[in-house]
Amino acid sequence: MKTELFAKELQAPSVVGSYSPADVQFLLKDLSDITLERGTEDREEAIQSGVHYSEMLPVEYQPTDDYIQLFHDTLEESAEKVATAAGVVAELILRKRGKHTVLASLARAGTPIGILIKRYIQEVHQIDLPHYSISIIRGKGIDENAIRYMLYKHPDHEIQFVDGWTGKGAIRKVLVDACAHMKDKYGVSLNDDLAVLADPGYCSETFGTREDFLIPSACLNSTVSGLMSRTVLRDDLIGPNDFHGAKFYKEWLSKDLSNLFIDKVSSCFKRIEAKAKETASFFELHPEQTEATWKGIQDIKRIQQDYGIDDVNLVKPGVGETTRVLLRRVPWKILVDRLDNPNLRHILLLAEDRAVSVEVYPNLTYSCCGIIKPLRKGEVEA
């Protein structure tokens, strides 16, 4: 390993977020006192004009009472399903990597999933894995200082990257490139395997399920992600020895559901332990079942052709990505595999709330797909 990997002193990160430090440590610079938010229409025009999405933040969508109730109902219905998927991923991580593993969740959607994996391993296997939340940004790469910090703190551990779900695999591709860059720059070898709860895009080899279902943590923004914003990377705010930045929305503590989500799902671990181990064993015996075929991208190409969309980044497949489109972008339309799909209740509610048209699009690999309204050519958000 090259000596310059640890040549620059990295300060311990600020304690931010509403999660317990025992669950996760955010390797993020606190930008809470800086105004970074821009309105949805304004931000969309900036992004499609070439401003990088990581240089500003969306105004956080404040859901209606009906939508909050839907979150609670969905959590009640799906907690055991989410717990099973988290347990499968946790079992696979232990079998593939061993107990000397650092969990590195990709902020922010990966953070609650990383906490669930950590808690499962702690409860079922009595192993306490270190867990951090770090930034990765399409077009800019991974936070190298965060990687260096983890390697310095845990020199005998292997890093396992964790995210919530896959769409068309954009972040997985960024991770692959980032790991190759770390090898070239520092001589450090990282495993670019990305463990996810759900892999409807067939982009990962380590996953809990490939069903495109609603993960309740995808329903909301910061109030189910430790009250943290999306990550920010701007030269005037982030210095060479800083971690990427984010805001901690302390003012919404009374509305925070982050720990409620974690505790509810974690309470199911004992009930699903046997099933999680059985499924992980099946995947081990049948590696062809976990091959990353990237078949979801064929859907995207078909949609692009049918709707005359030049920029692939305007097409956001899967329940999680479609939710993001409705919460913080300017959606054009939502495509669904069928209207009676139980995974789509919150999508239909959000679409109605925002007056976005919903169309049935048969033979989708995914449950749904969000299409962003094209404004002009330029860089758009991952």
The model's pLDDT over 296-316, given as tens digits with 9 standing for 90+, comes to 888 999 999 999 999 998 999
In tens, the pLDDT along 212-233 reads: 988 888 878 899 999 999 999 9
Average pLDDT over residues 71-87: 95
Strands of the 331-336 sheet, one edge to the other: 315-317, 368-372, 331-336, 357-360
User: Binning pLDDT at 50, 70 and 90, where does residue 378 land?
Assistant: very low
Percent of the chain with pLDDT over 70: 96
Q: What is the mean pLDDT of residues 244-253?
A: 94
Is the pLDDT at 320 greater than 90? The verdict is no
Indicate if the pLDDT at residue 376 is higher than 80. no
Q: Evaluate if residue 3 carries a pLDDT over 70.
A: no
Q: How confident is residue 195, by pLDDT bands cut at 50, 70 and 90?
A: very high
Q: Amino acid letter at 103?
A: L
Q: Quick one: pLDDT at residue 380?
A: 42
The residues with which 372 forms a beta bridge, in sequence order, are 331
Residue 103 near residue 160 (C-beta atoms within 8 A): yes
Does residue 7 register a pLDDT over 70? Answer: no
State how far the Cα of 155 lies from the Cα of 188, in Å rounded to an integer. 11
In sequence order, the 6+-apart residues with CB closer than 8 A to the CB of 237 are 29, 31, 34, 245
Residue 12 contacts by C-beta under 8 Å, 6 or more apart in sequence?
Answer: none
Neighbours of 55 (CB within 10 A): 17
pLDDT for position 4: 56
Q: In a 10 Å sphere around its CB, with 0-12 CB exposed, 13-18 middle and 19+ buried, how is residue 85 labelled?
A: buried
Distance of alpha carbon 81 from alpha carbon 217, whole angstroms: 13
Sorted by sequence, the CB contacts under 8 Å of residue 302 that are 6+ apart come out as none
381 φ/ψ sector (left φ>0, alpha ψ -120 to 50, else beta): beta
Q: Give the residue from 75, 161, 27, 53 showing the smallest Cα distance to 346.
A: 75
Residue type, 219: C
Over 70: is that where the pLDDT of 48 sits?
Answer: yes
Q: Calculate what percentage of the chain has a pLDDT beyond 90.
A: 70
Highest mean pLDDT among 145-159, 167-181, 262-276: 262-276
pLDDT at 49: 81
Rounded mean pLDDT, 50-60? 83
Judged against a pLDDT cut of 70, whether residue 9 lies above it is answered with no
> What is the sign, positive or negative, of the torsion defined by CA atoms of 10, 16, 19, 22?
positive
**Which residues in 276-338 belong to E strands, given as ranges?**
315-317, 331-336
Residue appearing with tokens 């998927």? 85
What would you measure as the largest C-alpha separation in the chain, in angstroms? 57
Mean pLDDT over 125-140 rounds to 95
**pLDDT value at 356 more than 60:** yes
DSSP 114: H
Mean pLDDT of 239-265: 95
Q: Which two tokens stand for residue 345?
A: 């209740």
Return the ∠ at Cα 232 (arms to 226 and 238), rounded to 5°.
120
Over residues 238-248, mean pLDDT: 94
pLDDT score for 8: 57
The pLDDT of 318-329, averaged and rounded, is: 86
Is residue 382's pLDDT more than 80? no
Q: Are strands 131-134 and 101-106 parallel, antiparallel or unpaired?
A: parallel
Contact residues for 351 (Cβ-Cβ < 8 A; gap 6+): 326, 331, 334, 357, 358
Residue 162: beta bridge partners?
105, 195
Name the average pLDDT for the chain: 91
